[in-house]
Chains A and B, each alone.
Chain A
Amino acid sequence: MKANPRDVLTGVHYIDGDVAAGYGVLAAGCKFVAGYPITPSTEAAETFARVAPKGNAMFIQMEDELASISAVIGASFAGVKSMTITSGPGYTLMMEAIGFGAMLETPFVLLNIQRGGPSTGVPTKTGQADMMQSRWGSHGDYEIIAISPDSPQELFDYTIKAFNLAEMYRCPVMIMSDECVGHMTEKVVIPPAEEIELEPRRLYNGPPGEYLPFKPDGDFIPKMVKAGAGYNLYISGHVHDERGYPVTNEEFKSVYLRRLVDKIRRNKDKIIELKEENTDDAEVIVVSYGISSRVAVRGIEKAREKGIKIGNLRLVTVWPFPDEKIIDLAKTTKAFVVPEINYGQIAFEVERCCHGRANVVLVPHSGAGVHNPDDIYDAIVFAAKEKKKIEGIVEYKTKLEKLVFEGGFKLKE
């Protein structure tokens, strides 16, 4: 299915990431956005509110984030593509309903413009510390898809992709961007509508009497109907059978709940998108995502100039995690360097998949800023020189840490 030309603002724009995301939402055919103001994501919501009438779409500002995401799930069952836009604290408030959405196999998209945390933290500055939360934040077992764009152009492109994945796998899809990308202004090229491929909703067309809302197709994913189409749908957040009726039997749990994780785990290869560069014969590979992968480029180039065989693996899809890729690369490389704006999240996943074959060097950052590329370079040099296998993650001591904790530094307001 092609995008509707009415929704696509074709042309070359010079806009920031939040605005690009707003345009992407419209181009993806999304007709319902519910949100609540939160820095630094508001521009995306404001943009959509402004352009929504053009696409016959609707923006509603709800009374809080709990209500926003609940409205989004409702709208999705009403038959329209829907999403919400938020940042850290709002994202946390959505946790209850994210699990609910996963349980109901609701297609929807969530844009999280990450900021410095925990709690209120630094609202106006960047962070990447919600990555594990996106996977594990709600109670119970489920799987989601998370994408991490690194430029305004990607915020446009991957917003569309996120909607496509949500419709294809009937699960919440998280766009885990950050303040830096959200507020970065760059050239964004929006192609004509006929070049934008959209995934239509997988609708059931049979007679109402035979419809089972949770009977999976061959690829584990059931078909949907629109509320109000005469199917007398019953949907419940309880563990349910194919009819959607609550069951309390233990075996059903492993049958029906298992599908919630299996539909992602078994389709992993189709979902995961990575960007790889010179990883084949690399002695050190930088694994990064989002804004950190752009900062890493300078460290990587510098290392290459110094003759280090350096590879670059960028996780466009962070969840599901590319286990197999890391396992393979760990067999040929000496070490992974993982720069991220937190104190180790995805680095743990890399460590897990290394199986002791390669060292893992974490270059942490507190948030409220991005890495100093020299830190990444230094970590690469360290990783290239180190001959021993080191158990556990090596946390690289950054210049920021040395500045703040060594030698009588005084905080300035």
Chain B
Amino acid sequence: METLKTKKMKEVHPMEDVLRMNRIPHIWCPGCGIGLAVTAFAAALEKAKIDLNKVAIVSGIGCTGRVAGYIKLDSFHTTHGRAIAFATGIKVANPDLKVVVFSGDGDLISIGGNHFIHAARRNIDMLVVCVNNFIYAMTGGQVAPTTPLAAYATTCPFGSVEPPINIPYLADSSGAVYVARWTTLHIRRLTNSFIEALDKKGFSVVEVISPCPQYYSRINRLGDGLDMMKFYHDNTEIRHGEDTKNLDIGFQGKIIMGKFIDRERPSYTERFD
């Protein structure tokens, strides 16, 4: 007798094409915003009109440093702070590739700050996604170059005395051709920014403000991930084209978002030819 053939429904993740499903679940804590940034990026990859075989993604070290491992592209998890330098090598050696650097504020702006400045100056064609959670989270909550003045961290138990860095201003003044900032609440706009930046020739920077409920919020008593999302909802303002000088973020102060810079400059590989 012939056996009855039943069609089995297979559960398919909507982003299976761009995510490494065999590595899920990821390592991020509940309420963390990095997953949202990844979701937005994955959506952008699907929507952008680029050959995904020709995209390489490079991360440094830290919570956001793990992103490369979850994105189904040629992906590199490198040393702390050196993601941009590694990506520069890839781009310059093979200009046909699209290169994305996905890392955190400590990795890109503190230990990798010099590479950030110089890659922007050279206008190496790459998209740099900087997830800014105001703290070193992987190592347990130390002060970061983005930690707002007077915020607490484990290595500044009496409140930070260092003025934080303004990432869009740094990118702007170093020569980036595309600079935008969004929070992880503004997924649709963030996704659109990613699509635009992926299409851009030159050094593009997208800063993603993200909650860190486990360290930044806990040490500073700011509640959980949802509380931070509510905070973003109430305390953000979109100002496209705003002068990047005015984008400092104070402790629980207003966050100005938007696309600040979108300009044309010949990229390094174009000049090299």
A395 at the interface (CB under 8 A from B): no
Q: Are A37 and B136 in contact, with the CB atoms below 8 A?
A: yes
Tell me the number of A-to-B contacts counted with CB atoms below 8 Å.
Answer: 52
| B235 sits at the interface (CB 8 A) | no
Closest to B109 in A: A63
Measured CB to CB, the residues of B under 8 A from A are 61, 77, 79-81, 106, 110-111, 113, 136, 138-140, 142-143, 145, 154-158
Q: CA–CA, A120 to B59, complex, Å?
A: 13
Q: Are A61 and B143 in contact, with the CB atoms below 8 A?
A: yes
CB distance A36 to B79 under 8 Å? no
Cβ of A42 and Cβ of B79 under 8 Å apart? no
Question: How far is A64 from B110 in the complex, measured between Cα atoms in Å?
Answer: 7
Contact of A59 among B80, B139, B140, B155 (CB under 8 A): B155
**Additional pairs, 16, CB under 8 Å, beyond known A39-B140, A46-B142:** A37-B140, A37-B142, A39-B139, A42-B139, A42-B140, A46-B140, A49-B156, A53-B158, A61-B142, A63-B113, A64-B80, A64-B81, A64-B110, A65-B111, A89-B79, A120-B80
**Bound complex: CA of A102 vs CA of B217, how far in Å?**
42
- Nearest residue (CB) in A for B147 is A61
Of B77, B111, B138, B155, most A-chain CB atoms within 10 Å = B155
Contact partner of B145 (CB less than 8 A), chosen from A38, A45, A63, is A63
A contact patch SS: mixed
Given known A46-B154, A46-B155, contact A64–B61 (CB-CB < 8 A) = no
Chain B residues with Cβ under 8 A from A38's Cβ? 139
Interface: A119 (CB within 8 A) = yes
Verify if A385 is at the interface (C-beta below 8 Å from B). no
Determine the distance from Cα of A89 to Cα of B145 in the docked complex, in whole angstroms: 20
User: What CA separation (Å) do A46 and B136 show in the bound complex?
Assistant: 13
**Residue contact A37 to B155, C-beta cutoff 8 Å:** yes
Closest to B77 in A: A120
Interface string of A46-85 (1 = CB under 8 A from B): 1001100100000101011100000000000000000000
Pairwise interchain contact B136-A50, C-beta atoms closer than 8 A:
no
- CB-CB under 8 A from B113, the residues of chain A are 63
| Contact (Cβ within 8 A) A42 B110 | no
- Report A's interface with B, CB cutoff 8 A: 35-39, 42, 45-46, 49-50, 53, 59, 61, 63-65, 89, 119-120
Please measure, in the bound complex, the distance between the C-alpha atom of A45 and the C-alpha atom of B140, giving whole angstroms.
12
Contact B154 A36, beta carbon cutoff 8 Å: no
Q: Out of B79, B106, B110, B145, which one reaches A119, CB within 8 Å?
A: B79
* CB-based contact B143/A64 at 8 Å: no
Docked-complex contact A64 and B79, CB < 8 angstroms: no
**CA separation between A65 and B61, bound complex, in Å?**
14
Cβ–Cβ < 8 Å partners of B136 in chain A: 37
Among B138, B139, B154, chain A packs the most CB atoms within 10 A around the CB of B139
Expressed in whole angstroms, the Cα–Cα distance for A35 and B156 within the complex equals 12
Known: A61-B142, A89-B79, A119-B79. A45 touches B111 (CB 8 A): no
Q: How many whole Å from B52's CB to the nearest CB in chain A?
A: 26
What residue in chain B is nearest A51 (Cβ atoms)? B157
Query: Smallest Cβ distance from B115 to chain A, in angstroms?
Result: 11
Cβ of B195 to closest chain A Cβ, rounded Å: 31
Judging by beta carbons under 8 Å apart, are B110 and A63 in contact?
A: yes
With A42-B142, A63-B145 in contact, is A36–B111 under 8 Å at CB? yes
The distance from the CB of B116 to the nearest CB of chain A, in whole angstroms, is 11
A50→B154 CA distance, assembly (Å): 8
Collect the chain A residues with CB atoms within 8 Å of residue B110's CB.
36, 63-64
Q: Which one of A39, A49, A53, A63 contacts B111 once the chains associate, using CB atoms below 8 Å?
A: A63
Contacts of A119 in B (CB 8 A): 79
> Which residues of B have CB within 8 Å of A49?
154-157
List chain B residues, Cβ under 8 A from A36.
110-111
What is the chain B residue whose CB lies nearest that of A63?
B110
Residues of chain B lying within 8 A (CB to CB) of residue A37:
106, 136, 139-140, 142, 155
What residues of chain A lie closer than 8 Å to B142, measured between beta carbons?
Answer: 37, 42, 45-46, 61
**Which 6 pairs from chain A and chain B are nearest by CB?**
A64-B111, A37-B139, A37-B142, A63-B110, A37-B136, A46-B154
26 sample A-B contacts, Cβ–Cβ < 8 Å, listed by A number: A36-B110, A37-B139, A37-B140, A37-B142, A38-B139, A42-B140, A42-B142, A42-B155, A46-B140, A46-B142, A49-B154, A53-B158, A59-B155, A61-B155, A61-B156, A63-B113, A64-B80, A64-B81, A64-B110, A64-B111, A65-B111, A89-B61, A89-B79, A119-B79, A120-B61, A120-B80
In the assembled complex, how far is the CB of residue B222 from the closest CB belonging to chain A, in whole angstroms? 20
Chain A residue nearest to B157 (CB atoms) is A50
Residue of B nearest to A59 (CB): B155
